[in-house]
Amino acid sequence: MITTRITPHDIGVAHAQKHGKITAPTPRQEQPMIGHPDLTPAQKTKELIDRMIDRAQDDNLLATYIILVGHKSRSSLAHDDLAWLGGHKIYRRFKIAQSTQVPAEAILLSPTADNYLVGEVTEYTGRIGYPDIGRHTLYA
């Protein structure tokens, strides 16, 4: 006879799944990759930046940001993630740049210096291919 130990966590997850109430991964689940698996790195980067800008504008429509895209300085593909920009320096009214100080495959929506005039100053972080967008309040 095979027995399986069921924990209260398992019961809670099963109940939530049954009733469609799970909206975020539980501690036992891995963070799923997002986007279509056939997307190019450039398309995944654009998708993440769009979601980050949408979230930032939902929080404060008047705030402005600089989009920093991380890359490895020795990589031959360092600029491929921004190929979709076609040489433009601004995307959806925000300046965009790459930095080796931002980890590879990370995006940072960094607030401009005058954001304190329109509300709390926050920055947003994300990793290409992952659903979570971090929101960090620098000061209110």
Whole-number pLDDT of residue 125: 93
pTM of the model as a whole: 0.67
108-126 pLDDT, tens digit per residue, is: 999 998 888 888 899 999 9
10-68 pLDDT, tens digit per residue, is: 555 555 556 555 554 444 444 445 556 677 777 888 889 999 999 999 998 899 999 98
Task: Annotate the chain with DSSP letters as a single string.
Answer: -------HHHHHHHHHHHTT---S--TTSPPPP-S-TT--HHHHHHHHHHHHHHHHHHH-TT--EEEEEE--TT-TTTTGGGGGGTT-SEETTEEEEEETTSPTTEEEEEEPGGGGGGS-EEEEEEETT---EEEEEEE-
Q: Find the farthest-apart pair of alpha carbons in the chain and give their distance in angstroms, rounded.
A: 68
Domain topology for 41-139: hypothetical protein PF0899 fold (3.30.2320)
Domain ranges of the chain: 41-139
